[in-house]
A and B are shown apart, each in its own frame.
Chain A
Amino acid sequence: MSSVASVHSLWTVAAEVPGRIPAPHIEYAQLSPTLIVLGAAVIGILVETVLPRSSRYYAQLALSVVALAAAFAAVIGLAAGGFGSSKARIAAMGAIAVDGPALFLQGTILLVSLVAVFTFAERRLDPAAHGKKVDSFAAQAAAVPGGAAEQAAVKAGFTTTEVFPIALFAIGGMLIFPSANDLLMLFVALEVFSLPLYILCALARRQRLLSQEAAVKYFLLGAFSSAFLLFGIALLYGYAGTVTYAGIAEVVSDGAKQIDPALAGTMGNDALLLIGAALVLMGLLFKVGAVPFHMWTPDVYQGAPTPVTGFMAAATKVAAFGALLRLLYVVLPGMRWDWRPVMWGVAIVTMLGGAIVAITQTDIKRLLAYSSIAHAGFILAGVIATSEDGISSVLFYLGAYSFVTLGAFAVVTLVRDAGGEATHLSKWAGLGRRSPLVAAVFAVFLLAFAGIPLTSGFAGKFAVFKAAAQSGAGWLVVIGVISSAIAAFFYIRVIVLMFFSEPKADGPTVAVPSPLTTTAIAIGVAVTLVLGLAPQYFLDLAGQAGVFIR
């Protein structure tokens, strides 16, 4: 009891005047990518209040594009300055790591987000409302769907230009997430990118009931999972007495050597470590969309506005896998004999579950959602490798996969009928006869998802499975190849449907997009083919980036 009293006196004896509290030392230059994006988001909010409605769209688009490009340039500058390799360090008083994986993933997220912003800004697909061009976001999200307020808003030509700053906030959180170096930062970054995503999901212009339903499901389940994550953080804090990754890793691997007897009940208590790590992993696996925690994915992907779905599917996955990698490789390598069997199981059910359930889907957005679940399983196979190859293969896979996903969802926005996007698969029948180019582009993305050689999907899958096999996870690779084959079946089925069946008389039309969406799709195709034909340079890049700082 006496030692507890002495512990207590740490903050109860401060009757004397507290000494000067030193200001924290922040390396602004090394944090510049995140700061640029978040600063631009704040300016974007100001733009909303200051500028008249008519000029907001162009101002927001220009601001977002400039901010993302500048942040990407900052990432390149940091990488060229050696922060990805020799000068890797921990910045912001231990809260943020600036190292190879962090910079690689930040660069990927920024590029993907830049392309996603192009699809957000598309205003030529929806027919003009009352002579004013509209994008795929609600005229006024607060108005009741079908009500008088909504009709007035549509008539006045309102558009929700707030989506750009909201997306920038989400991107800022995603940039911090894979580079967070303590558990508090991890939690705050998770919320900073999740909360804007919940809002974005609710903003569709067409089918607003579905959109709102997707948002409420995503929000309730996301908040539920982040509560688990937070409780896990609390238990890990109780276990180690600190929330920094290095501090926890030290206690995990050294055991509890120099423990205060008063703390013997908590510090170094394995029950706290195991339960805490499991809860934190649960929170991250939810964001990744791995199988026991995947139930939100199909509904949210289907209901959210398609540009948002593409952004979410690509960028969130990159950020969440980055955080998962850092947690498993930096904090918990000392207990990998405990978490590897569990992650084996998760990877197997994720691969098989995603691939098998996808076969039964009739909606193209749900199909892509289940395909993203299967891909989460493939990436998990690389995560489990616990080797340098494992890290670099996962980095490469994330880069390749995110552009394919974004491109595929951008194509989905083009195929339309009177009710908006025609997402039911039966309507895609014969699309290849009517618009060969769009169908061919979509076929390229599907082949990349399936992992056919000469596309980026093959290079990524090969790298991930090779890393897994080298680490002794042979059975996992066998199951991965089997589920790839199952997945290839439904990808090929869509291609057959598009090219080898007769188009229906009342089929959808393919809208002619503005250069924005065309650019987005073209970048998707280009990255898919370049990473498929000449992956070596990028594999080397990912290989150089594959070392975490501790």
Chain B
Amino acid sequence: MNPVYYLYLAALLFTIGGAGVLIRRNAIVVFMCIELMLNACNLAFVTFSRMHGNLDGQIIAFFTMVVAAAEVVVGLAIIVSIFRTRHTASVDDASLMKL
């Protein structure tokens, strides 16, 4: 099977994630969409790794997973703290500083 199809899939997933970030209003869902974008990157890395025949891309995919995990820790901590204060996780309500 032509590995380029996996690249199309990666681009599609990345686009879906990016659109989700822009459209969805719940901070948790926005965050999940960002994770989807990171996973799309991983798919692209692994596919390119397969095509080039070197292991760099697979190693990078591992690093991305670790970074994504660390990001979840920080992100959920921040989102949970703002949820406990306001009883909502909507990114539209976080507008105290809007001009």
Interface residues of A (CB under 8 A from B): 4, 7-8, 10-11, 141-142, 144-145, 184, 187-188, 191, 195, 198-199, 202, 208-210, 212-217, 219-220, 223-224, 227-228, 230-231, 233-235, 237-238, 241-243, 262-263, 265-267, 298-299, 302-303
Contact = CB atoms under 8 A, between A and B. Distances in A.
B48 A266 contact: yes
Nearest to A229: B41
A184 B60 contact: yes
Nearest to B10: A234
Interface in B30-59: 30-31, 34, 37-38, 40-41, 44-45, 47-48, 50-57, 59
Given A227-B34, A238-B48, A238-B51, A142 B81 contact: yes
B12 interface: no
B91 A220 contact: yes
Contact of A223 (B31, B50, B57): B31
B9 interface: no
A193 to B, nearest CB: 12
B53 A7 contact: yes
A195 B66 CA distance: 13
Given A195-B71, A213-B96, A224-B34, A231 B85 contact: no
B78 interface: yes
A243 B60 contact: yes
A231 B70 contact: no
A234 B44 contact: yes
Contacts of A145: 85
Contacts of A266: 4, 48, 51-52
B74 A217 contact: no
B85 A212 contact: yes
Contacts of A238: 7, 44, 47-48, 51-52
Given A145-B85, A216-B82, A219-B74, A231 B34 contact: no
Q: Point out which of A210, A223, A228, A267 has the most chain B C-beta atoms below 10 A from its C-beta.
A: A223
Contacts of A223: 31, 34, 71, 75
B36 to A, nearest CB: 9
Contacts of B94: 213, 216-217
Interface residues on B, range: 35 or more
Contacts of A195: 70-71, 74
B78 A219 contact: yes
B70 A210 contact: no
B46 to A, nearest CB: 9
Contacts of A214: 97
A295 B53 CA distance: 41
Given A210-B97, A216-B94, A238-B44, A202 B31 contact: no
Contact of B74 (A198, A234, A267, A298): A198
Contacts of B27: 216, 220
B97 to A, nearest CB: 5
25 contacts: A4-B3, A7-B52, A7-B53, A141-B81, A198-B78, A212-B78, A215-B78, A216-B78, A216-B82, A216-B94, A220-B31, A220-B75, A220-B91, A223-B34, A223-B75, A224-B18, A224-B21, A227-B37, A231-B37, A233-B60, A234-B41, A237-B57, A238-B44, A263-B51, A298-B97
B92 to A, nearest CB: 12
Nearest to A183: B60
Contacts of B44: 231, 234-235, 238
A267 B53 CA distance: 12
B78 A210 contact: no
B63 A184 contact: yes
Contacts of B47: 238
Contacts of B60: 184, 233, 237, 243
B34 A212 contact: no
Given A231-B37, A243-B60, A210 B79 contact: no
Nearest to A188: B63
B80 to A, nearest CB: 9
Contacts of B75: 198, 219-220, 223
A2 B95 CA distance: 58
Contacts of A219: 74-75, 78-79
B40 A231 contact: yes
Contacts of A243: 56, 60
A256 to B, nearest CB: 12
Contacts of A242: 54, 56
A228 B40 CA distance: 11
Given A187-B63, A220-B34, A234-B45, 14 more contacts: A141-B81, A145-B85, A212-B85, A219-B79, A220-B30, A223-B75, A224-B37, A231-B44, A263-B51, A266-B4, A266-B51, A266-B52, A299-B97, A303-B97
